[in-house]
Amino acid sequence: MDIPFGGAKGGVTVDPKHLSERELEKLTRKLVQALKDVVGPTTDIPAPDMNTSAQVMAWFFDEYSKFSGFSPAVVTGKPVNLHGSLGREAATGRGTVFATRELLRATGAGQIADKRFVIQGFGNVGAWASEIFQEQGGKVVAVSDAFGAIYNEKGLDIKALRKHIASGTALKDFPEGEAIDPGTILSIPCDVLVPAAIGNVINSDTAESIDAKYVVEAANGPTTPEGDAILRKRGITVLPDIYTNGGGVTVSFFEWVQNLQNFKWEEDEVNKRLDRVMTESFGHIWEIAQQKKLPLRTAAFVKALQSVTRAHLHRGFD
């Protein structure tokens, strides 16, 4: 359901950052004219990814609707005021928190409320995850971004930190914490380490230094196979990205459903349904991991393949 079209895998790449707003709009519309016969509300539904935005999705919807009539369900990640879903912005971060809660519960480690968190990355995902961890009583003791990191033993005040950043000042200059070397962020002692930035950061160089009981992968591919092996050997449980950061596409799915119904859900309803999806999925993965003695990452793949296989077998092969 998810065709990112901001990047480019093969063919000529146009970097959207070098385009004027007007050029980007024109480019988007021409793309829709070319794609219009192979996307559609029941065919293939694009969503934003790197280099595209809610505005680009709005143009996509507008152009597509010229050809097929009013069709908000052709694309997700639209602006909230133009058929987007409430709760989508925070969805990946919020889903990460639900995932962590389930992990702690299942492993008998208790609740978020009595835990210490370290968050690598403070973009959309990291910032929302941090804020919601704190709302549920967790202590976010350290966060980093590309330019620095900040630490507070008693837990950072995330709302204040976000306000600080929104006002244009650097994360590392946040007064209610201590600036630290961002290179050390992964090795800060904590219960839960949340890599929420870029890929491959937990690798053969860094995995040994990690001082956490759980690694919850909010980023895409933060752990290399070598890093993964080391963590496993050291007994650190990893909640894999394929499951953990699925909150965004889940709420994209909810946005699609709302568009098909032409009826907007309240934010509470969105969050409650996201919780249900994250919780049930954790249950399936955990059960497989227990029954088959598999790491959670492998169990998640097993679950995914089971679902796809079962559907294929039922549909038949003719």
Q: Does 235 bind a copy of itself (CB under 8 A)?
A: no
> Which residues are within 8 A (CB) of 77 and not within 5 positions of it... i.e. 6 or more apart?
47, 48, 54, 57, 84, 88, 252, 255
- 3-state DSSP assignment of residue 36: coil
Stretch 97-136: interaction string toward a copy of itself, x if CB under 8 A: ----------------------------------------
Cβ proximity of 117 and 140 under 8 Å: yes
- Report, in Å, the least distance between residue 180 CB and a copy of itself: 41
Check residue 9 for interaction with a copy of itself (CB under 8 A): no
Report which secondary-structure segment, H or E, holds 100.
helix 91-106
Give whichever of 63 and 228 is closer to a copy of itself, judged by the CB atom: 63
For a copy of itself, the closer CB: 224 or 252: 252
- Binding letters toward a copy of itself, positions 61-100, x by CB under 8 A: xxx--xx-xxx-------x-xx------------------
Task: Please give the Cα distance from 76 to 270 (Å, whole number).
Answer: 15
Q: Which is nearer to a copy of itself, 173 or 266 (CB)?
A: 266
Closer residue to a copy of itself, CB minimum distance, 172 or 284: 284
* DSSP letter, residue 143: E
Distance in angstroms (rounded) separating the CA atoms of residues 38 and 175: 52
Does residue 260 contact residue 8 with C-beta atoms inside 8 Å? Answer: no
Strand partners, 118: 142, 193
Contact positions with a copy of itself (CB under 8 A) in 202-221 = none
Q: Does 43 bind a copy of itself (CB under 8 A)?
A: yes
213 classed as catalytic: no
DSSP 8-state assignment for residue 44: B
Site for a copy of itself in 275-294 (CB under 8 A): 276
Q: How far apart are CA 31 and CA 239, in angstroms?
A: 37
Alpha-carbon span 52 to 48, nearest angstrom = 5
Applying CB under 8 A, which residues contact a copy of itself? 25-26, 29, 33, 37-38, 40, 42-43, 55, 58-59, 61-63, 66-67, 69-71, 79, 81-82, 256-257, 260-263, 266, 276, 307, 310-311, 314-316, 318
Catalytic residues: 9
